[in-house]
Amino acid sequence: AWDPYCKEHIHKLESVQKRAARFVSNNYDTYTSTTKLVTDLGWDTLKDRRTASRLTLLQKARHSKAALPVKTLLTPTLRQSRHFNSNSYKPLAFHKDCYKYSYFPQTVRDWNILPQEISDTAEPTKFNAAVLQHLRKQH
């Protein structure tokens, strides 16, 4: 799935969802907030959905339910920190934006700041729901 990092691309992608919210709500009034329409429909932002999808794929790979080479590419942190959960990984080094915002570096950053109780969740559907709920609380 495409997970843009440039603000211009994110804006274009989010505008598709906002147009869909106007269509579903049948509300084309220019004074109506499309963000409010999306919220009223109970839709998560596309950014949150992409983040939850990335994290869920990593969670599945950790539990051998997805074919990602997690054990060869990622190194678990050896000591706990108040900023990271006990399932965290060493952040990956990067020098270019194209790598900085690619799957593993971005997902490891997001994974490491998940609360412990979410990162411990083994069942993918429950994990995804917990991540989305966590992301909603941050807004």
How big is the chain, counted in residues?
139
Confidence of residue 1 (pLDDT cuts 50, 70, 90): low
Q: How many angstroms separate the CA atoms of 65 and 58, rounded?
A: 9
| Confidence at residue 80, expressed as pLDDT on a 0 to 100 scale | 65
Q: How many angstroms separate the CA atoms of 77 and 87, rounded?
A: 8
- 8 Å CB contact between 97 and 104: no
pTM over cut 0.75: yes
H helix runs in 7-137, sequence order: 7-25, 34-40, 46-62, 70-73, 97-100, 103-112, 116-119, 124-137
| Confidence at residue 6, expressed as pLDDT on a 0 to 100 scale | 82
Q: Is the pLDDT of residue 107 over 60?
A: yes
| Confidence at residue 75, expressed as pLDDT on a 0 to 100 scale | 85
Mean pLDDT of the chain: 89
Confidence of residue 21 (pLDDT cuts 50, 70, 90): very high
Q: How many angstroms separate the CA atoms of 83 and 112, rounded?
A: 8
| Confidence at residue 91, expressed as pLDDT on a 0 to 100 scale | 85
Phi, psi of 138, rounded to the nearest 5 degrees: -75, -15
